[in-house]
Amino acid sequence: PDKINSASRPELIDFHGVSMVHYFTDNWETVQNFQARPDDILIATYPKAGTTWVSYILDLLYFGQTMPERQTSIPIYERVPFLEIFAPPVISGTDLVEGLSTSPRLIKTHFPVQFVPKSFWEQNCRMVYVARNAKDNMVSYFHFERMNRIQPDPGDWSSYFQKFMEGKMVFGPWYDHVNGWWKKKQTYSKLHYMFFEDLVEDTGREIDKLCSFLGLSPSAEEKKQITGEVQFDNMKKNGMANYSTLPVMDFKISPFMRKGKVGDWKNHFTVAQSEQFDEDYRKKMRDPTLQFRTEI
Ligand code: A3P
């Protein structure tokens, strides 16, 4: 039996109305009382929407030139700590953030918008939200749960498909997550909302948009270098970006850098599932200003 699936998996709990597992709630008080600095940058996503990709882009934009050794010696999940994670003996997200000596601090969260510690809003921090179309997001999350023992056991694909539509996912329903952050953007100007599909379509263009949001102006050469370095194949072989050093995951079941594609859902959804999904989606996603692409 493989180690991951025989190891005990956490149960889904209801936490302030959102499905969670204890690894992301056990440190709640400390996380909620977290003191942000005005230059902190929060990278927020629903799990599997492109967090690592955007984290790596931001890390390179800020530190790629000045601290090249950082890229080859510190895994991305330590450069960009996951705020709410608390899975001893692994160092907690908040402790990792406190230990950062760089400025700005880049901080990752999967919280739905209402869970973000209030200090980030009070300090008017910049935030980058990455969203990915629901179908590909679901497929990616399914494979991630298969290989990651701090997530619940995903079960088989068809039951996972139902659970996703019902929102019985860690960090809650995808629908609420992407909509909640989208609404926030209407009132909070320091939020840059971006899409995985756009990044796949034209990484350079999306880096340009990020730079203008962040007030950065890298040289053309630097941008070209970053764009190359963050391409899927390069990140997949990069031991400091591909999560291969994290012991809770079993890459023999599925690698963290799995496919990196738009439209892989077509290899998983049956025609009937796709129709059922689309009908349910139309009922839940009523805001015409928020549109996703399931192919490019
Ligand atoms: P797949 O499982 O579809 O391959 P997160 O970082 O939020 O956990 O998201 C992981 C997903 O983003 C995985 O999707 C992973 O392969 C994809 N990804 C990571 N880096 C990427 C890159 N440089 N280009 C394309 N996809 C990338």
Using the mean position of ligand 1's atoms as its centre, give its distance from the Cα of residue 33 in Å: 31
| Residue 45 near residue 36, CB atoms below 8 Å | no
pLDDT at 267: 98
Identify the burial level of 16 via C-beta atoms within 10 angstroms of its C-beta, where 0-12 means exposed, 13-18 middle and 19 or more buried. exposed
Report the alpha-carbon distance of residue 66 to residue 127 in Å, rounded: 23
Max Cα separation, the chain?
Answer: 52
290 belongs to a structural domain: no
Question: pLDDT tens across 34-44, in order?
Answer: 999 999 999 99
Range of the domain at 174: 3-284
The residue whose CA has the least distance to atom 20 of ligand 1 is: 53
3-state secondary structure of 210: helix
pLDDT at 262: 98
Among 152, 130, 147, 159, CA closest to 48? 130
pLDDT at 7: 65
Does the pLDDT value for residue 1 go beyond 60?
A: no
Catalytic residue status for 16: no
What is the DSSP-derived secondary structure letter of residue 155?
-
Among 210, 238, 204, 241, CA closest to 224? 204
Tokens of 93: 């997200």
> Is 53 near ligand 1, meaning CB less than 6 Å away?
yes
| Residue 20 near residue 169, CB atoms below 8 Å | no
Does the pLDDT value for residue 231 go beyond 60?
A: yes
3-state secondary structure of 194: strand
Backbone angles phi, psi at 48, to 5 degrees: 80, 20
Using the mean position of ligand 1's atoms as its centre, give its distance from the Cα of residue 118 in Å: 29
293 belongs to a structural domain: no
pLDDT at 2: 53
Using the mean position of ligand 1's atoms as its centre, give its distance from the Cα of residue 260 in Å: 5
What percentage of the chain exceeds 90 in pLDDT? 94
What percentage of the chain exceeds 70 in pLDDT? 98
Report the alpha-carbon distance of residue 27 to residue 40 in Å, rounded: 20
What dihedral do alpha carbons 107, 108, 109, 113 form, nearest 10°? 70
Task: Characterize the bridge pairing of strands 13-15 and 41-45.
Answer: unpaired
296 belongs to a structural domain: no
The partner residues of 249 in beta bridges, in order of sequence, read 148
| Residue 32 near residue 71, CB atoms below 8 Å | no
Does the pLDDT value for residue 4 go beyond 80?
A: no
The residue whose CA has the least distance to atom 23 of ligand 1 is: 232
> Is 49 near ligand 1, meaning CB less than 6 Å away?
yes
Tokens of 217: 């102006």
Using the mean position of ligand 1's atoms as its centre, give its distance from the Cα of residue 261 in Å: 8
294 belongs to a structural domain: no
Q: What is the mean pLDDT of the chain?
A: 96
| Residue 56 near residue 232, CB atoms below 8 Å | no
- Number of domains comprising the chain: 1
What dihedral do alpha carbons 215, 220, 221, 226 form, nearest 10°? 50
Supply the CATH number for residue 112's domain.
3.40.50.300
ipTM over 0.85: yes
Ligand 1 nearest atom to the CA of residue 53, by list position: 20
Report the alpha-carbon distance of residue 271 to residue 195 in Å, rounded: 25
Please give the model's pTM, rounded to 2 decimal places: 0.97
Q: What's the Rg (C-alpha) of the chain?
A: 18
21's CB contacts (< 8 A; 6+ apart) are: 10, 11, 12, 13, 150, 151, 152, 170
Report the alpha-carbon distance of residue 191 to residue 181 in Å, rounded: 9
Identify the burial level of 75 via C-beta atoms within 10 angstroms of its C-beta, where 0-12 means exposed, 13-18 middle and 19 or more buried. middle
272 belongs to a structural domain: yes
Residue in 22, 110, 177, 192 annotated catalytic: 110
> Is 151 near ligand 1, meaning CB less than 6 Å away?
no
pLDDT at 3: 56
> Is 52 near ligand 1, meaning CB less than 6 Å away?
yes
Tell me the mean pLDDT in the region 106-128.
Answer: 98
